[in-house]
Amino acid sequence: MSGKFGEKYYDLTLNALRIVAGLLFMTHGGMKLFGWFGAQGSFTAFWPVGLAGILEFFGGILIAGGLWTRYVAFVVAGEMAVAFFWMHAAKNHSLWPWANRGELPVLYCFIFLFIWASGGGSKTLDAWLAKRKALLVAALALLGTPAFAQQAPPSPPTIQEWNVPWTGTRPRDPYVDRQGRVWFVGQTAHYVGMLDPASGEFKKFDLPPGAGPHNLILDSAGIVWYAGNTAKHIGRLDPKDGSIRQIAMSDSTLRDPHTLVWDARGDIWFTAQGGNGIGKLTVATGDVRVVRVPTPRARPYGIKVDRTGRPWVVLFGTNKLATVDPQTFTLTEYPLPRAETRPRRLEITSDGAVWYADYAAGMLGRFDPGTKKVEEWPLPGGPTSRPYATALDDRERIWIVETGSQPNRFVGFDTRTRQFLPGAAVPSGGGTVRHMVFDARTGAIWFGTDANTIGKAQLPNPPATPVP
């Protein structure tokens, strides 16, 4: 029903129609069954009048009370249709209601069809029982939660490592392909490596001398794109034949492509820490567009793209976050409350919140782009925990590696309960874990270490139990 007046009174009139129609219909059954309401005696035969009386008396009560409303309304609407054609039209040899005195069955039939289609309104026993059922289901669900059920001891990630055969090469920034193989760069030895976890075998692809690869990502065709951090280019490596194409930076001052990330269109956004800029590589054309960070020596570092296609960046040389409008390429900076904050990596949860790891003070922070509100939590390792690598899993848990201690330590944080989760030490010590990636197919996080290993942190499943 349209219009403010109709919307206001629709439910009220629907409830009134149901109650009045049901009670009036009940009187017809009472006449047939019990001789009530001015009837000249009751009917003793069950068929057909006795059955009709049962449907009308008890059906009218159920409709008036709103119990099983739609089902009952459909049945008695059918009864009224039968009554019209059999008792009125056939016996009086006319289909016209004014001639066969069938106005009342027709009216009841269409009233009950309307109630069947629309429901009986909000003031029904059906609605009351539905609310009680919802409360019962919620109570049973609550009783089944860890707060009420005996729970298993907290479960930390299980970490496994593979020694990279090319020693002292700082393997880092892994990426998992569709076959489950793990690709990574050897930063100090200028190569792209691949680990097959099933067999433990490694494969190496040498890059141009001095490439200094810092990070890599793979496209849907299995092509490797790497950041040539010390050679001013982004590289494209085809693993099938080992061919490499170098895409130079359009601005020579953007000297050090740092971290690469895909957007929804299959183009690459990236940071340049020393070059103090944020760039976009359009893959189809090879064009590179650069946005300068206005704050001097801001050191753009970690980067993620949100669901709207907007890149977010942590400015490691400052206490700021930044974002770029992908349409206008306008950059906006957001200072964080503490001047000493130094955000190094970030994650974006499904609610659009930007989470950052404060390397300087050992904090995990949450920035709400809508309200600009900032919340922070001290990491278990304290002010010297040096949080570096981060990853977000498919259960909205953020995993952080504290690099201020040896061995490095994995720490989890449930963004929904706002509680830290059990941690685990990196068996090799780690040296420094700088970047990692979550593989949703296996529920594992992959990372590289300065101890010359590629590591896998198998996350607890079901979700880990929060640490008090």
Tokens 């409360």 — which residue? 135
**Residue 44 clears pLDDT 80, i.e. is over it:** no
- The residue ranges of DSSP E strands in 229-340, in sequence order, are 233-238, 243-248, 257-262, 268-272, 277-282, 287-292, 300-305, 311-315, 320-324, 331-335
Query: How many Å apart are CA 279 and CA 443, to the nearest integer?
Result: 31
287 three-class SS: strand
Tokens 């034949």 — which residue? 241
Return the amino acid letter for 118: S
pLDDT tens digits for 257-285?
999 999 999 999 999 999 999 999 999 99
Q: Under 8 Å CB-to-CB from 268, ≥6 apart: which residues?
A: 217, 225, 234, 260, 261, 262, 280, 281, 283
For residue 56, what pLDDT is reported? 87
The strand pair at 331-335 and 224-228 is best described as unpaired
Residue 392 DSSP code = E
For residue 162, what pLDDT is reported? 98
Domain with CATH 2.130.10.10 in the chain: 158-458
301-310: average pLDDT: 96
Find the helix or strand (DSSP H, E) in which 183 lies: strand 182-186
Phi, psi of 466 (to 5 degrees): -60, 145
Query: How many Å apart are CA 381 and CA 361, to the nearest integer?
Result: 10
Query: How many Å apart are CA 145 and CA 275, to the nearest integer?
Result: 50
Query: How many Å apart are CA 372 and CA 385, to the nearest integer?
Result: 26
Give the pLDDT band (50/70/90) at residue 204: very high
Kindly report the average pLDDT of the chain as a whole number.
89
**Cα torsion for 356, 391, 317, 367, to the nearest 10°?**
-20
Residue 465 DSSP code = P
Number of residues that make up the chain: 468
Q: Under 8 Å CB-to-CB from 39, ≥6 apart: which residues?
A: 30, 31, 32
Query: How many Å apart are CA 29 and CA 39, to the nearest integer?
Result: 11
For residue 144, what pLDDT is reported? 53
**Could you check whether the bond before residue 154 is cis, i.e. omega within 30 degrees of 0?**
no
Query: How many Å apart are CA 389 and CA 147, to the nearest integer?
Result: 31
Which two structure tokens, joined as six digits, stand for 340? Answer: 């000493």
228-239: average pLDDT: 97
Query: How many Å apart are CA 8 and CA 29, to the nearest integer?
Result: 34
Which two structure tokens, joined as six digits, stand for 407? Answer: 């061995």
pLDDT tens digits for 126-155?
777 766 665 555 555 555 555 444 455 568
CA 56 vs CA 16, 29, 31, 59: distances in Å: 18, 4, 10, 5
248 three-class SS: strand
For residue 309, what pLDDT is reported? 95
15 three-class SS: helix
**Residue 169 clears pLDDT 90, i.e. is over it:** yes
How far does CA 348 lie from the centroid of its chain? 11
Fold of 158-458: Methylamine Dehydrogenase; Chain H (2.130.10)
CA 4 vs CA 120, 122, 123, 265, 297: distances in Å: 21, 18, 21, 44, 59
**161 closest CA partner among 407, 440, 426, 413:** 426
For residue 225, what pLDDT is reported? 98
**Residue 374 clears pLDDT 90, i.e. is over it:** yes
For residue 122, what pLDDT is reported? 74
Give the pLDDT band (50/70/90) at residue 468: very low
Edge-to-edge order in the sheet of strand 387-392? 387-392, 397-402, 409-414, 419-425
Give the pLDDT band (50/70/90) at residue 8: low
| Residue 224, strand partner residues | 218, 237
3-state secondary structure 187-205: CCCCEEEEEECCCCEEEEE
Which two structure tokens, joined as six digits, stand for 221? Answer: 């065709």
For residue 119, what pLDDT is reported? 77
**394 closest CA partner among 458, 463, 344, 343:** 463
Q: Are 210 and 190 spatial neighbours (Cβ–Cβ below 8 Å)? A: yes
CB-neighbour burial class of residue 77 (10 A; exposed 0-12, middle 13-18, buried 19+):
buried
Find the helix or strand (DSSP H, E) in which 1 lies: none
Q: What is the pTM of this model?
A: 0.68
Residue 249 DSSP code = -
Rank 92-96, 131-135, 424-428 by mean pLDDT and report only the highest: 424-428
Query: How many Å apart are CA 463 and CA 157, to the nearest integer?
Result: 11
The DSSP annotation for 354-383 comes to EEEEETTTTEEEEE-TTT--EEEEE-TT-T
Query: How many Å apart are CA 15 and CA 366, to the nearest integer?
Result: 48
